[in-house]
Structure 1
Amino acid sequence: MEQSLREYAGWAEEEACIPGEDPVEEMLRAREDEKRCPVQAWLVPVVDDMDRCIRERFSTLILQEMNARLANGELSLLLGNAAVSERIAPRDLEIGTITCWRLNRTDFLADVDLSVSMTVEKEGRDIAGRFGFCLGLWFCTEEGFSCEVQELHLAADKPDRSFWKLDRFLVPILREDEIESGAERLWENLLPGIKDPKDRTARMLAEKLGLEIREMRLHCQNRTRSILFFREGTVLVQDEKKPGEEDFPLPVSRQVPANTIVINTAARSECRDLDILHECIHYEWHLLFYRLQKLMSTNPLEIRYRTVRNSIGRPASDPLRFMEHQARSGSIALLLPQNLIRGKAWRLFQQASTYPSVEGYINHPGFRWDRVIRRLSDEYGAPRTTLRRRLVQLGHPAARGAVNYVDGRYITPFAFTEEHSSRGQATLVISRKALTDLYHRSSEFRQLMGRGDFVYADGHVCMNDPQFLRPTKEGARLTPWANAHADACCLWFEKVWLRENEESVWLFGTLNSNEDYVREYDRFLDRRLSLTARERLARRNRLMQSMPNDFPDALVYLMENRDGGKVTLEELAALAHVSSKTVSRYRGGMRSGYNPDVVVALCIALHLPPWLSRLMLDKAGFSIKSYGPRGHYGEILDCCFMDTIPEVQEYLRAAGYPELKLQED
């Protein structure tokens, strides 16, 4: 089932800053207010639960059973006193807590606490009172929900079961170690003769479970990697285009037999074996939930949702969240058993500590786990990102800094302090697509990026300071110290489980940052980090007033006073991917008009902060707006001004914007 990351900023509301206030300080105050009263809206599934099921469908059966045991004397025997009541009326019986226990994939036990009003004879007197019992019910879901009454106990003698406990939605309540042991038992029970994990395959396990695997290209479901059908159903499929055809064929409906895993070939997947094992976990551990809901498949689109406002945090009443966590963790445990990986990975990590540093970087845990993951990936044929998740799962959070594939390449491994190693779903890594999505949705984030306080560098949003960033031919990169202490200078992003556009996806949520840095930093104007917000604004205004008014002279001024040192005409032409003749004409004022794409490229080549780029565009006769044919200029000047021109062009292509046209007549 789909477990994709979708970038999103949770604070999409536009809020104007108070005039005269530092927008960064205003943002921090707003964040503190939200922490004190974090009211949030959540979408949770509307699903049936066993509490309601038993009270509505089986209360009559329970009442009849208690009256039968009253008549045959069993209640008197349990209480140690003769029951005087002839019968128990509906108003005399109250159903209390219901505790469910998993027996196997189709059967479970329900311990039902009962409070019964009765009269008993004690010391020659009739005494009325309420008495507590626990009645066991055995449910089999093979053919509907059949129920068989089991033993009856006094409430004080309620049995302590050794089975997996189920929540009220019949989803197992599992610790991480129980997920690990449950996955290992699955191999042992179904393939007891195969001990070496290298000899096990996902398709072998699916076959033993009685599951068929079919590959189809699902129509308009490019996020869903696989679907498990417990019963016969249908899917809408669309074949690939044939050579020479411009349009895809029309979608058609296909029948899917019961007990089938559909692999969606239209969705990208790092590991098809992992997708199959994911559905095997659903089939073995979560059939009871879907039998309760009477669903045709595990597709979450078939579940209705309602909005809940919550002032504490993420609601705990979403069974899909727990099932997906168990399927994700369980499938990785099946693919890479901990008894195989744990010891071997740690030995390789210790060996990697003796390796020399690379290109001046510190041989920190990020680099060491990177070597371990690549070695294990080659040996076991498992995807590197899957191995990284597995190592984090086994208690090595520093592995998050290794093998991060961002924007078509692996970024440099990085490290962070132990203090930030247990931040749950927080991440220091973000793609350009995620960055721009956040930029569009969050006015606060646009303020940070527009001020030039932070820049995008090597998969991180890093503070714009020479001690943290260094220019390279490939664009801005973290310095060796910043690379080894990424949490000290880069923004954290948290992942939250939400539901949007009828798909269950991971979304980016809260922006977190180091308050001291954000509050006081403005590199271009305040190198010693000592100015107040008002002083920085005054210095910015003085700089803007002191620069030459016309564009050619301002360009010469910036080339000669560039923060990274003076840049020559030829160097700027190479950085901006324009001809030397073009730079010469723009410097010399030999043109009556300027190409806005070339002006943008010159600003990016000089790595000008966003506010200074806008000033240069203004001097060239252009303005930045959030709409129209040049609406994307502000986006790339704010988010990509430390990148190279090829990186900017690649981003524009990926985002569907027109590339910068840099060739002039």
Structure 2
Amino acid sequence: MHKNYRSFEAYLEDIYYDEMHQAIKNSILQKGRRSLDSYDVLDPSYIEVENIRVRSITFYGIEHRQIFFNATIQAEIVLKGMGKRDYEADRQSKWFILSFYGHLISGLRKVMIIDVRDYSKERFSKENALSRYLVPYLYSEDLDNEAERFLQKYYPEALENPMPLDMAELLDNMCLTMYYAPLPDNIFGRSYFGEAQVEVFEEDMIHTRTENIDVGTILVNPNVFFMRNIGSENNTIVHECVHHDLHANFFELQKLLNNDVISISCDVVEEYGKDTVGIDNALHWMEWQANVLTPRILMPLKTTKQKLNEILIRLQGEKQDLRNAEFLQLAIEELASFFGVSKLSAKLRAIDIGFEQAAGTFVYVDGRYYPPYSFRRGTLGKNQTFVIDEMNAFNVVKMSQGLSDMVYSGKVVYVNAMFCINDPQYVLRCEDGSIELTEYALENVDECCLIFDRTNRISKLYDDSFYRRCFLCRDVNAVNFVEAEYNPNYIDNQNAQERAKETAKIIAFSKEISEELMNMPGSFSRTLECHIKRRGITNEVLAERSGLSSRIISDYRNKEALTKELPAVMALCIGLNLHQFYAEDLILKAGHQWKMTHEHMVYRWLLVEHSDETLYQWNKRLEDAGLSQRLPSNKH
């Protein structure tokens, strides 16, 4: 009967205990008695190895089912022999690294221990690195290269010329078999790495039969597309192919430890929890890898750029009466049709390969499409958008006083799923009382519409972006004067038509901040305490934003006599995103006076012009200014 194991470490310790024992003992004997350091036994005549424990495994290579890994071993070495006075005995705990080689196919076979050495901390190498679950490490910057590796292996002609992948040919090249099957509604595909009996559809896609399947079988749910409305059958098939290419070793390992594991089911899930651990975390990363590689395989970088440019050049001669956004949307629609993917998949891939204005195409929000729009290149930062669904629009107006004032005063209106300046140049009022963006506005949304930050959240209510993103609005205020909200991706939302309104707010704010500074405590510690409470954050949050430890922040709050170095105080200022006036007050109470040095001038420039940024951005600016000093400084 097959024995189950909780980990590969437990398996190795149980199955290969004798081999590890002999390898360690031989290594000790080969090095000679002098390699053993014992205070009691000076001349050991008896050496034994006992209580071997496998503490960790590092897989560092696998090729054609040949696997290489290091095992960190703790063992007790028993010595007996002549001591200073008589025959003595000694027991020592020693650590070793044993290097293994084997074949991982239908179990672990032909295992050899190829090296034994004393333990030392080894540097991690990303080259051919594998996790403890045999999931390869993939990095965002390498994804297109990894997709090219996949195609070079299974479909090399797709790298030479633009072409849609033939799914039957891809499956044949990979020696995989596919069936349509009545899978649960939340499962869009399932890959098998062992023999099983499954229910599959007949050719009429109505009746089913029981099929005996083998390793290398894919089941596809014909009713559930990959990522629901943004995928296609091709996405599902390639997604499962990626699992067979990258993750077969994961299942070989799991079958070794637990013979009941035979398949992986791919759920319709937009995002996995960040707190997953162990094997759940491994499954999370396997799904992430399949998700991000699938569109890159279906639409390779080089040939997709080539094809999109070909389409754009041709359409320029055929469609001269279209707006830029309409023109680009038509090209992406043709690109999607050519590669056999959904329109939204093609849109997202176009953005990914450098056509950032594709973000304005196929604007689908709250169950309807809106006209495509254009914006100036470089306007949007990472995770930013002009588009916000109606539910989130309501929430951000409710949460942001600045935006609320602008909306209820009529200065800004919600139109085409965007917040736009309420001006006839940008907003057209129809006879039925509805409003829509003008042609000019649609071609220049960066001039008239507000920008929103976005964060990931799973919700069926939000269908306006790839991973169901909801969008969080920053406060609309006079950013060069009013204290900024913490915002790591700040882009100015102001424009000339809002300046008059902002001036009134500046006057009100100047009175407010003047009164607050007059009522601030006289000590550094109590002033810091006041700002932390005013900003509504904890020591832990401030530690993350400032780079200072929670302990030091606690000391600063409670020990007035503690020395406060200027870089550390600057780190507190950016961690709290303090306005220049508050920051200079805190710096003065820390015992520092500004000097006419290059370093201090740069510090003051950061406080005046960049109080809305992050510690990372400040350090980059210090580097650009030629300063070796980095924030924070924890020398206490």
TM score, norm. by length of structure 2: 0.55
Q: Secondary structure at the match of 2:147?
A: helix
Please state if 1:469 is matched with 2:427: yes
| Mapping for residues 250-649 of structure 1, pairs under 5 Å | 257-258=213-214, 259-268=216-225, 270-293=231-254, 295-299=261-265, 318-342=281-305, 345=308, 363=324, 369-370=328-329, 372-374=331-333, 376-377=335-336, 379-406=338-365, 407-409=367-369, 411-415=371-375, 418=378, 420-423=380-383, 426-430=384-388, 435-436=390-391, 444=399, 456-458=414-416, 460-463=417-420, 465-466=422-423, 468-472=426-430, 476-479=435-438, 480-481=440-441, 484-486=444-446, 489-490=449-450, 492=452, 494-496=454-456, 506-509=467-470, 511-516=472-477, 529=501
Say if 1:151 and 1:159 are closer, same or farther in 2 by CA, change over 3 A.
Answer: farther
How big is each residue's C-alpha offset from its partner over 1:174-204, in whole Å with a ceiling of 9 and x where there is no partner?
1245433333333333456775552741221
SS at match of 2:152: helix
State whether structure 2 residue 77 is matched by structure 1 residue 114: no
CA distance in 2, matches of 1:306, 1:387: 24
CA positional deviation for 1:498: 5.2
Any idea what SS the aligned residue of 1:186 has?
Answer: helix
Amino acid corresponding to residue 420 of structure 1 in structure 2 = L
CA distance in 1, matches of 2:397, 2:103: 51
User: Out of 12, 21, 37, which is 1:58 matched to?
Assistant: 12
Secondary structure at the counterpart of residue 89 of structure 1? strand
| Alpha-carbon separation, structure 2, partners of 1:257 and 1:487 | 59
- 1:203 paired with 2:157, answer no
- Counterpart for residue 652 of structure 1: none
Equivalent positions of 1:216-255 (< 5 A) are: 216=181, 218=183, 221=185, 223-231=186-194, 232=196, 234=198
The alpha-carbon deviation at position 331 of structure 1 amounts to: 1.8
Contact 1:234 1:256 (C-alpha < 8 Å) held by counterparts: yes
What is the CA-CA distance between 1:486 and the residue it aligns to?
4.4
**How many residues are matched?**
450
Offset, 1:412: 1.1
Match of 1:215 in 2: 180
Which residue type is aligned with residue 470 of structure 1?
L
**CA deviation after TM superposition for structure 1 residue 394, in Å:** 3.0
Structure 2: distance between partners of 1:283 and 1:142:
14
Contact in 1 for aligned 2:100/2:112 (Cα 8 Å):
yes
Alpha-carbon offset, residue 173 of structure 1: 0.8
Q: CA–CA distance in 1 between the matches of 2:368 and 2:202?
A: 27
2:150 matches 1:186? yes
Alpha carbons 2:76, 2:94 under 8 Å: kept: yes
Determine the C-alpha separation between the residues in 2 that align with 1:495 and 1:402.
Answer: 21
Find the counterpart in structure 2 of residue 164 from structure 1: 128
Question: CA 1:183–1:507 in structure 2 vs 1: closer, same or farther (change >3 Å)?
Answer: closer
Deviation at 1:276, TM superposition (A): 0.9
Q: CA deviation at 1:279?
A: 0.8
2:97 equivalent among 123, 134, 138: 134
Report the CA distance shift for 1:199/1:356 in structure 2 as closer, same or farther (over 3 A): closer
Asked if the contact 1:420/1:487 (under 8 Å) is kept, the reply is no
| 2:595 alignment partner in structure 1 | none
Q: 1:488 to 1:55 in 2, by over 3 A?
A: farther
Going from structure 1 to structure 2, the CA distance change for 1:456 and 1:97 (only over 3 Å counts) comes to: farther
Contact kept, 8 Å, 1:81 with 1:120, in 2: the verdict is: no
Q: What is the alpha-carbon distance in structure 2 between the residues aligned to residue 491 and residue 196 of structure 1? A: 38
Identity %, equivalent residues: 16
Check the 8 A contact 2:47/2:77 in 1, yes or no: no
CA 1:320–1:66 in structure 2 vs 1: closer, same or farther (change >3 Å)?
closer
* CA displacement at 1:511 relative to structure 2: 1.9
Deviation at 1:81, TM superposition (A): 4.9
Q: Is the deviation greater in 55-64 or in 483-492?
A: 483-492
SS in 2 for 1:418: coil
Contact persistence 1:118–1:128 (CA under 8 A): yes
**What is the rounded CA distance, in whole Å, between the counterparts of 1:162 and 1:174 in structure 2?**
9
Q: CA deviation at 1:418?
A: 2.7
Is the Cα–Cα contact under 8 Å of residues 203 and 276 in structure 1 kept in the other structure? no
**8 Å contact 1:112–1:134 — kept in the other structure?**
yes
- CA change 1:342–1:78 in 2 (3 A) is farther
| Cα distance change of structure 1 residues 200 and 129 upon mapping to structure 2, 3 Å threshold | same
8 A contact 1:235–1:255 mirrored in 2:
yes
Aligned-partner Cα distance in 1 for 2:179–2:293: 22
Assess if the C-alpha contact under 8 Å between 1:105 and 1:284 holds in 2.
no
TM-score by length of 1: 0.53
Separation of aligned partners in 2, 1:487 and 1:315:
48
Indicate how the Cα distance of structure 1 residues 203 and 470 shifts in structure 2: closer, same or farther if over 3 A, else same.
same
- Residue 631 of structure 2 corresponds to none
Could you tell me whether the CA contact under 8 Å between 1:415 and 1:485 is conserved in 2? yes
Report the equivalent of 2:21. Answer: 67
* Letter of the 1:297 counterpart: S
RMSD: 5.6
Rounded to whole Å, the distance in 2 between the matches of 1:377 and 1:389 is 11
Structure 1 position 172, deviation (Å): 1.4
CA 1:309–1:326 in structure 2 vs 1: closer, same or farther (change >3 Å)?
Answer: closer
Q: Distance in 1 between matches of 2:11 and 2:144?
A: 36
Mean Cα deviation higher: 446-455 or 152-161? 446-455
Cα-to-partner distance string for 1:326-351 (whole Å, 9 max, x where unaligned): 21232222222223224554687799
1:298 partner SS = strand
> Which residue type is aligned with residue 169 of structure 2?
M
Instruction: Answer yes or no: is the 8 Å Cα contact 2:12–2:54 preserved in 1.
Output: no
What are the superposed Cα offsets for residues 499-556 of structure 1, whole Å, 9 maximum, x if unpaired? 999xxx94445623343289999xxxx99636779x9xxxxxxxxxxxxxxxxxxxxx
